[in-house]
Structure 1
Amino acid sequence: MKPNYTVRHGALEGVETFLAVARRRSFRRAAAELGVTPSAVSQAVRGLEARLGAALFTRTTRSVGLTEAGQRFFDRAGPAFAELVAAGEVARDLGQRPAGLLRLSVPRGVVPLILEPVIGSFAQAYPEIELEIAASEEMVDLAAGGFDAGIRFGQFIAPDMVAVRLTPPFPFVVVASPDYLARHGRPERVEDLRGHACLRIRRSNGAIAHWSFVDGAERIEAAVSGPLIAHDYPTLLGAAIQGVGLAQAPRPLIRAPIADGKLESVLDDLAVMTPGVFLYHPGKRQMLPKLRAFIDHIKSAA
């Protein structure tokens, strides 16, 4: 038979009162310590004794002593209750000031774009916060994974999350290395992509992402093909820089390689706009000061 480890309702009721009486060896002094009446102390102890089924004190008109059951209960309940009090103080402390472990779930491509510029200044500003960055393309359940928040492209954030904008909207741009374009030519229309090696992303749900374009008011979803399927944008763009093929990626991620001459953009007039990058979390009521401090810091640094 499976043991029942459930704490009974009210199991801790009266324990603090019992411990005060046991320490003071006096109902009256315990009442003064707790700020209640002696009769309230007596009632709480009687209730505890009734639930335990054992007398905890021997009482005379002149003194109060512990029974054997009371002494054993005191020896074990005292340290346990002190731990509960300490745990409550730790929780209260984390609820009042920026401290503790802050865990974020972030796509790899967002780390250099959003986080690397602020990690140093954030660590300096909040030395009592430990920042943990889990770089993954998986759309994790924040609560189940023990994360305080996540960072994602806006179109992938569930509607029940509170979203905080970190970047303005930006286009998804098709890029390739100058060498690739010299060998294969520049596509001028979406239809031209059929003759090109197109590097693709597999989403966390297992689907291979289509390439998206906009022609006036018309949205176009193109099913392209090519020699590489990656699970993150850094891998995809690394292959594009090596001349493996064309890639479609968020403009902020390709700004540096374009400036360095490693990539060139094509089909710019057909680029589709996306909402941008957002930090998301379960809700304001559950936000601890450590997360509020991070949000304020990253927004001030933008």
Structure 2
Amino acid sequence: MNEKPSLGDLTALAAIAAHRSFRKAADELGLKPSTLSHMMRVLEQNLGVRLLNRTTRSVAPTEAGERLVARLQPVLRDLDAALQEIDDFRGRPSGTLRINAHEASARLLMRSVVPTFLARHPEMALDLVTEGRLIDIVAEGFDAGIRLGEAVPQDMIAVRFGGETRFVAMASPAYLKTRKPPRTPDDLKDHNCIRLRLPSGKLYRWEFEKRGQEMTIDVPGALTLDNIELMIEAAIDGLGIAYVPIHSVRAHLDSGRLVGTLDDWCPTIPGLFIYYPGHRHVPPGLRAFLDVVKEVG
């Protein structure tokens, strides 16, 4: 070994191995691809071994490169965590917090949590991404995710907010004037139900429970949607019965634009959770956001 590698050289190698691309690694590190390529040539010369196989279209670690990167990754993670802990002493959180949520929970956050958080921490920015599919928040670069408790991965730390909730079956008064309101879930077979298509492509089967008796119904209906807000609008327009989270429709129920049905068959469920990986140091921005969630969420 002619010269001991620098931390910058080793970090660059790990980034190139992760992205399999000089350009993407350069974007992450804020360098030019040509600069990274030169750094890797010098690193290989100093170590006396080839670390990367390069072609005109791709780059990949050699066996030696793979072994070195595998040993580097936990060291670099520990270093990042240590530096983050030191950064905590700066005081006020800063930077960008990225959170993935489905649309209904994002709307709930926007009512009180987000305004309070941004007002209290002016040096923070919030990137709130809404989508229906359940993603790997770590692999896709998010600090946290928000989902119903049953959907939270078991290896995550979860913090409840918004209290218990439940799904409710509701329709417009105009629709219920033309049809006899259902008294049991079985009665839904005689109604137009506004069905929900899940991100997986499957149709959601409505779940009911009363005094220990559980029922799961594959409801009939001419209209299928993949968005809760559109389902609510369709129900208001008299197109049928929708089954949605109560926090999404409470204002319409209070105003009388919609009427609940099968109320005694709609049980409470644990509700929403914000979750994040437990094996990582919690960044100051996420910790500050969690504090606001616990306070006003």
TM-score by length of 1: 0.69
1:179 counterpart (153, 174, 177)? 174
Encode CA deviations 1:54-113: one digit per residue, 9 max, x unaligned. xxxxxxxxxxxxxxxxxxxxxxxxxxxxxxxxxx89967755551111011111111222
Indicate conservation of the 8 Å contact 1:94/1:288, yes or no.
no
Q: How many residues align?
A: 228
CA 1:158–1:90: 2 relative to 1, 3 Å:
closer
In structure 2, C-alpha distance between the alignment counterparts of 1:297 and 1:162, rounded to whole Å: 17
**Aligned counterpart for 1:143 among listed residues 116, 120, 138:** 138
CA drift of 1:250 comes to 1.4
Structure 1 unaligned segments of length 5 or more: list them. 1-7, 16-47, 54-87
Q: 1:131 corresponds to which residue?
A: 126
Paired residue secondary structure (2:96): strand
- Identity level (%): 33
Aligned-partner Cα distance in 2 for 1:197–1:9: 75
Q: Write the deviation string for residues 142-192 of structure 1: whole angstroms up to 9, x where unpaired.
A: 012111101111111111111100022222110001111111221111111
Max Rg structure: 1
Give 1:238 deviation, angstroms.
1.3
Matches within 5 A, 1:75-114: 95-96=88-89, 97=91, 98-114=93-109
Determine if contact 1:155/1:274 at 8 Å carries over to the other structure.
no
The answer (yes or no) to whether the contact 2:166–2:269 under 8 Å persists in 1 is yes
Measure the CA separation in 2 of the matches of 1:154 and 1:203: 17
CA distance in 2, matches of 1:118, 1:215: 34
Q: Is the 8 A contact 2:84 2:283 kept in 1?
A: no
The residue aligned with 1:220 is 215
Counterpart residue identity of residue 282, structure 2: M
- Could you tell me which of 243, 247, 250 is aligned with 2:242? 247
CA deviation string 1:211-261 (max 9, x = no partner): 011131121101102122222211111111111110111122221110111
- CA change 1:52–1:183 in 2 (3 A) is closer
Shift of 1:200: 1.6
Q: Establish whether residue 290 from structure 1 lines up as the match of residue 285 from structure 2.
A: yes
For 1:118 and 1:211, how far apart are their aligned partners in 2? 30
- Separation in structure 2 between the aligned mates of residue 9 and residue 113 of structure 1, nearest angstrom: 56
- Listed as ranges, the gaps of 5+ residues in structure 2 are 10-42, 49-79
- Equivalent position amino acid for 2:273 in 1: F
Deviations 1:13-42 (A, max 9, x none): 8x9xxxxxxxxxxxxxxxxxxxxxxxxxxx
SS at match of 2:204: coil
SS at the partner of 1:109?
Answer: helix
